[in-house]
Chains A and B, each alone.
Chain A
């Protein structure tokens, strides 16, 4: 299983703070996972196609795509600018 977590505005838009998903072709890489989450509905598509999301796997920010493995925790963070 993968544990997928959502933060700040993403969590509010999709209405979920975390999901557990089985490892499959749709979740084999970070890009594939994000694309497949984006097909869950209009809100998901909007929140997950934002260009500027921070994506972290096991608490490490990922630049570019990366394969996912059993037990990974994936987290999505939106840019925030309030001050």
Chain B
């Protein structure tokens, strides 16, 4: 079954001639079953290189469709794929790249109920997701199942990666015992990311997978590798297992994957107002404070006249600029960050608070079509 055809021998000849791979290693790659969680920025190079390398079964977890703003870094997709389900486009592309790979699409959102069963069919898990709830689910499940997890994340020009194998080293919870409050951590959509960063870091993840399968080299177990793209520097930190880790320490208390809710858990659902209503109220009510919590460079592309810019990350320190006695409407690009700003202002005691539904994007579509969209 795992023997290689003539076509495969030619295809993998650059692998086969290396003493670290040989026929045996290539057969091991063909027997390997790898689950890739997310087929976005990190998942693109991961899936492409793992398929090209001849991983036998490649599972892909994704539920999103291709958006125009993905193409800048998610090189698995073409411009013509915009609007298609990512899994459909990915499967086509990967099958074209290497027909010897069994591509298994899993069109689902990972949950505490399905993650263990999903991992059962795979040997190695790779995290190419973009949010903490998924990262912790995958980490918990991999540690509990005793399977290695190749972890990575990126931010603007920086990236980090490690191999978490709780049998031999630390897990994600040894580094960060609990996920941080979502309000504090910007996503790629909010913080931005240079396209090459997930390219570089995702390719490194693929290399770690191959090293694990071949049993060659020094996997990044117990090491956190950090890349600063602007500085052109790599740093390597040593990470020991945390003896107090609730998942993989001797007194571990976590015995099943924990589901975290994405945003503002427990926060009161904010009142949303439409762009049209905001326009009418701005014209009529001079006391209304319209607060834009995006970044200055986004504000410079387009903003609603009369709005005040206070980036989400600075909001807590600039509360003095807002009058709690006056009504306040929060806006951002599409509505995500203003929800977090809402939760933060509620905690700070602000009561007359609303959120502009759909952010400046909705304003551009419904109030001022001449406003640039991004």
Min CB distance B343 to A, Å, is 16
| Additional A-B contacts beyond A52-B176, A83-B41 (12; CB < 8 A) | A8-B155, A45-B317, A50-B184, A54-B175, A59-B236, A63-B240, A80-B155, A80-B159, A81-B135, A81-B185, A83-B43, A83-B128
Q: Residue of A at shortest CB range from B317?
A: A42
Docked Cα-Cα span, A7 to B129, in Å, equals: 21
Per the bound structure, the CA–CA distance linking A64 and B244 in Å amounts to: 10
Query: What are 29 A-B interface contacts by the 8 Å CB criterion?
Result: A13-B313, A42-B317, A43-B317, A46-B313, A50-B184, A52-B177, A52-B178, A54-B237, A59-B236, A59-B237, A60-B238, A63-B244, A77-B160, A79-B179, A79-B185, A80-B153, A80-B158, A80-B159, A81-B135, A81-B153, A82-B41, A82-B130, A83-B38, A83-B43, A83-B127, A83-B128, A83-B131, A83-B152, A83-B153
Interface hit among B22-30, B107-115, B186-194: B186-194
Q: Are A83 and B158 in contact (CB under 8 A)?
A: no
Contacts of B160 in A (CB 8 A): 77, 80
The answer to whether residues A63 and B130 also contact, given A46-B317, A50-B180 and a CB cut-off of 8 A, is no
Q: How far is the CA of A54 from the CA of B155 in the complex (A)?
A: 15
Report the 10 A-B pairs with minimum CB-CB distance, sorted nearest first. Answer: A83-B130, A42-B317, A82-B188, A80-B155, A52-B180, A61-B239, A63-B242, A80-B153, A82-B154, A83-B42
Instruction: Provide the bound-state CA to CA distance between A78 and B158, in Å.
Output: 11
Chain A hits for B243, CB < 8 A: 63
Q: Which of B34-92 contact A (CB under 8 A)?
A: 38, 40-43
Residue of A13, A42, A50, A59 touching B235 (CB-CB under 8 A) = A59
| Distance of A48 Cα from B237 Cα, bound (Å) | 20
- The chain B residue sitting closest to A61, CB to CB, is B239
Mark A residues whose CB is within 8 Å of B. 7-9, 13, 42-43, 45-46, 50-52, 54, 56, 59-61, 63-64, 75, 77-83
Tell me if A79 and B41 are in contact (CB < 8 A): no
With CB as the reference atom, state the residue of chain B lying closest to A54.
B175
On whether the beta carbons of A82 and B153 are closer than 8 Å, the reply is yes
Counting contact residues on chain B (CB < 8 A from A), the size range is 35 or more
Q: Are A61 and B224 in contact (CB under 8 A)?
A: yes
Which residue of chain A is the closest to B152 with respect to CB atoms? A83
**Residues of A close to B177: CB separation below 8 A:** 52
Q: Is the CB of B180 within 8 A of A79?
A: yes
User: In the complex, A82 Cα to B176 Cα: how many Å?
Assistant: 16
- State whether A7 and B226 are in contact (beta carbons under 8 Å apart), knowing that A43-B317, A63-B243, A83-B198 are contacts in the complex: yes
Contacts of A64 in B (CB 8 A): 244
The distance from the CB of A9 to the nearest CB of chain B, in whole angstroms, is 7
Whether the pair A9, B40 counts as a contact (CB closer than 8 A) is no
B155 to A, closest residue via Cβ = A80
**Complex Cα–Cα for A45 and B316 (A):** 10
Complexed CA–CA distance, A63 and B239 (Å): 9
B263 at interface (Cβ–Cβ under 8 A)? no
**B152, B180, B236: the one within 8 Å of A51 (CB):** B180
Chain B neighbourhood of A54, CB < 8 A: 175-176, 224, 237
